[in-house]
Amino acid sequence: MRVRKIKWAEEFLESQDVIIKDPSSMAGHWKEICHCDELHVEIGSGKGDYWIAMSQMYPQCGWIGIEKNHSVAAVALKKVENQMHDNRRFIVDDAKNISEWFAEKEIDVIHLNFSDPWPKKRNGKRRLTHANFLNLYKKMLNDDGKIIMKTDNRKLFEFSILEFQDQGFRCSEISLNFREEEHPEDAISEYESKFMAKGNPIYRGVWQI
């Protein structure tokens, strides 16, 4: 996701108490902080549409957004500035450090919604479904936990299916055209709606340990 560097981003992010500045100090306590029994984490929240919409649709669950790009994170958080955020928090950092932020088995659901595809082979390790990331997620998911992935990028989806399989995950749901049917339970971000408008199929899979 390309966003020009935003001048006001750093100062704005500094002032937002929805951002957890030292996420490792929260490991094991996220459910308390979010007043919930079910913890959802979206990795790569981009401009925040999915994280915001889902946290409003499911207020009984906790929703943690993670975004490494400061300007993009600022755009996301501007959308919920001055709003109550009992059940949501945000981490502005690279998810490669995720295992420092959550305790083992603390997360119920990880969402990978339209992750960057990184098409060049040499960038494969940056894909959020690369084996290195899947092995981090595995430790933090509880025994019934799941990873839900949606993308319009067929190559990324094919790559991910094999990575999940190689790392011993079980695929419990798969769709090669998720929006063919109505899914009111799942928010459509601006990002997704652009792909839908082009007529691109949306691929979706759910994986469990």
Residues labelled catalytic: 116
- Contacts of the segment 175-180: beta carbons below 8 A, 24+ positions apart: 175/202, 175/203, 175/204, 175/205, 176/201, 176/203, 177/201, 177/202, 177/203, 178/150, 178/202, 178/203, 178/204
Judge whether 77 and 48 are in contact, CB under 8 Å: yes
Question: Does 67 engage in binding with ligand SAM (CB under 6 A)?
Answer: yes
Question: Does 130 engage in binding with ligand SAM (CB under 6 A)?
Answer: no
Question: Does 71 engage in binding with ligand SAM (CB under 6 A)?
Answer: no
Among 20, 34, 36, 66, binds ligand SAM (CB under 6 A): 66
Question: Does 147 engage in binding with ligand SAM (CB under 6 A)?
Answer: no
Helix (H, G, I), strand (E, B) or coil at 66: strand
Question: Does 72 engage in binding with ligand SAM (CB under 6 A)?
Answer: yes
User: Which of residues 7 and 125 has its CB atom nearest to ligand SAM in the complex?
Assistant: 125
Segment interacting with ligand SAM, rule: CB under 6 A, options 38-46, 82-90, 153-161, 170-178: 38-46
Segment interacting with ligand SAM, rule: CB under 6 A, options 53-61, 109-117, 139-147, 176-184: 109-117
Burial tier of 114 (Cβ tally within 10 Å: 0-12, 13-18, 19+): buried
Question: Does 116 engage in binding with ligand SAM (CB under 6 A)?
Answer: yes
Question: Does 46 engage in binding with ligand SAM (CB under 6 A)?
Answer: yes
Spatial separation of the C-alpha atoms in residues 148 and 103, rounded to whole Å? 20
CA Rg value for the chain: 16
Question: Does 203 engage in binding with ligand SAM (CB under 6 A)?
Answer: no
Size of the chain in residues: 209
Question: Does 68 engage in binding with ligand SAM (CB under 6 A)?
Answer: yes
Segment interacting with ligand SAM, rule: CB under 6 A, options 26-34, 44-52, 53-61, 101-109: 44-52
Spatial separation of the C-alpha atoms in residues 108 and 99, rounded to whole Å? 15
φ/ψ region of 125 (left if φ > 0, alpha if ψ in -120 to 50, else beta) reads: alpha
Kindly list the residues in this chain that would bind ligand SAM in the complex (CB under 6 A). 1, 44-46, 49-50, 66-69, 72, 94-96, 113-116, 128, 189, 191
